[in-house]
Structure 1
Amino acid sequence: MILVLAGTADAREVIGTLKAGGYRVAASAVTAYGARLAREAGADTVQEGPLGGEDLLAFLKDQGIRAVIDATHPFATTITGAARQACQNLGLPYFRYRRPEVKLPSHPNLLLAGSLEEAAELASRGQVIFLTTGTRHLEYFTTAPALAGKRLVVRVLPEEASLARCRQLGIWPGDIVAIQGPCSYELNQALYRQFKADVVVTKDSGTTGGVVEKIQAALDLGLTVVVLRRPPEPDSLPLEDIIPLLGEALGR
């Protein structure tokens, strides 16, 4: 059985390709939505909820996992690190899926940030900051001195945990946009106009994440866009390279 660390739309393609190749597939996803995507893709078994550290090691052993394909979000560095370590401990093949990257346009209003701290600093150029970076690191913006007194509008998944996190950090209901992306160019523009945003902050999360539409919609409105660079993953591979390497590792 192959474990796919899922939770993203990319994982559907990974699971589907593995099933078409005759593999049995287990999938792990933190959210109910990610688990649903994995089931719809044909995973034989799906583990819903956080899976890391000792729990991950136990799952790998109990399920007889022979290899792991990590198709989590490009910024999900915690689970990626835990999976690498677990596979190393058990001597299992580990493959990091590389989500197709976005070719960012060259534009004076597009600013690149190498860290969350830098993203918050760059975002302070505006008064209404539209955040599309999720809730995992939202406190970097709500506590940034440079953003004190600014209005933060946060686009998040329509999950109870996401909404609770926003409220915990002081984001008012009127500044929360709970919607499942990716959003179209037209919807992005409508949201920016509705909230009178002058800065949009996003992650370089690849084509699957709707980044192109978010960025272009903002630039065409004359807004400043701050893009958080994705963490480097020099050993990540596209799916077409992973499949033959997987077969080789398993003697197929």
Structure 2
Amino acid sequence: MSNGPILILGGTAEASKLASRLAAQGHRVISSLAGRTLNPATLKGEVRIGGFGGARGLIAYIVKQEISLLIDATHPFATQISDNAILAAASTKTPFVRLERPAWHTKPGDSWSIVASLEDAVSLIPAKARVLLALGRQHIAPFSRRGDVHFVVRMIDPPEAPLDLVDFELELSKPGKVDDETAFLTTKRLTHIVCRNSGGTASYTKIKAARDLGIPVIMIDRPHRPSTHSVADIESVILFVDKLFGSV
């Protein structure tokens, strides 16, 4: 087995925790970030920022850096980089594992409308609604045709270009605790939430707050992904690494 570094395709909270765990075990870790967040959290190990240039670029990077293990810990909706990772791992015969956090599921009291796409979500919003768009900035454009809806757009970083929405307000903040989210939804007089089924705990508080307040959620379902080589938590990745390399 190569003594080369472990490459983590990251950008998620789980990827950050995983990098810390692997670095603490003595592995050389390279975390790759897309660069969409202006001030990413400090990561253990080495960090590279920016795309690879498609599957071919990722293949070239794996070969050049002599990567010994490729871990895909990207967002569940980051389908392009995940497809590239599967192809690159197969092409270079590099061991591969995907960390995919479990999806959210409805609980008693939830009022979800599950849709397959952003366009379906746009069409489902009732007229005169006040809607929290809990989406990345690259997913806002389809909602521009709804001039009959007031949108509250929450982002971590300010958009690089003005948002093409007719009636909206911009909220630069991260999701808070359940009480914070409840106060936010109430103060903004929101009637609906549009979000993607990202899973995990970091942004689930808005779902719990919506349940408590009886606010409907338009939930964009996850794209179908290959289940091969996927695990649901960090401990399973660590076990995979331990079996692959043995003790470091």
Q: 1:182 to 1:150 in 2, by over 3 A?
A: closer
1:1-252 aligned at under 5 Å gives the runs 1-31=5-35, 33=37, 36-37=40-41, 40-43=42-45, 45-53=46-54, 54-107=56-109, 109-124=111-126, 127-143=129-145, 147-159=146-158, 163-165=159-161, 167-170=162-165, 175-179=169-173, 181-211=174-204, 213-233=205-225, 234-235=227-228, 236-237=230-231, 238-250=233-245
Q: Deviations over 1:99-149 (max 9, x none)?
A: 144342133632222222222222236521111022222222223xxx342
| Paired amino acid for 2:172 | A
Give unmatched runs, 5+ long, in structure 2. none
How many correspondences in the alignment? Answer: 239
| Paired amino acid for 2:164 | L
Q: 1:9 to 1:246 in 2, by over 3 A?
A: same
CA-atom RMSD, angstroms? Answer: 2.5
- Offset at residue 158 of structure 1 (A): 1.6
Structure 1, 101-110 or 197-206: larger mean CA deviation: 101-110
Equivalent pair of 1:126/1:198 in contact (CA under 8 Å) = no
Structure 1, 191-200 or 70-79: larger mean CA deviation: 191-200
1: CA distance between counterparts of 2:24 and 2:8? 15
Partner secondary structure for residue 17 of structure 1:
helix
Question: Which has the larger share of helix?
Answer: 1
| Paired amino acid for 1:184 | K
Structure 1, 149-158 or 27-36: larger mean CA deviation: 27-36
Residue identity over aligned pairs, in percent, reads 29
Structure 1, 241-250 or 187-196: larger mean CA deviation: 241-250
2: CA distance between counterparts of 1:86 and 1:35? 28
TM-score norm. by structure 1 comes to 0.83
Equivalent pair of 2:109/2:212 in contact (CA under 8 Å) = no
Q: Deviations over 1:169-200 (max 9, x none)?
A: 2367x611111x23222222232233321111
- Offset at residue 50 of structure 1 (A): 2.6
- Offset at residue 71 of structure 1 (A): 0.9
| Paired amino acid for 1:20 | A
2: CA distance between counterparts of 1:52 and 1:224? 39
TM-score norm. by structure 2 comes to 0.84
- Offset at residue 202 of structure 1 (A): 1.6
| Paired amino acid for 1:22 | G
Q: 1:73 to 1:84 in 2, by over 3 A?
A: same
Equivalent pair of 1:130/1:201 in contact (CA under 8 Å) = yes
| Paired amino acid for 1:153 | V
1: CA distance between counterparts of 2:179 and 2:202? 16
Give unmatched runs, 5+ long, in structure 1. none
Q: Deviations over 1:13-59 (max 9, x none)?
A: 2112212332110110123758843xx3421x210123341432332
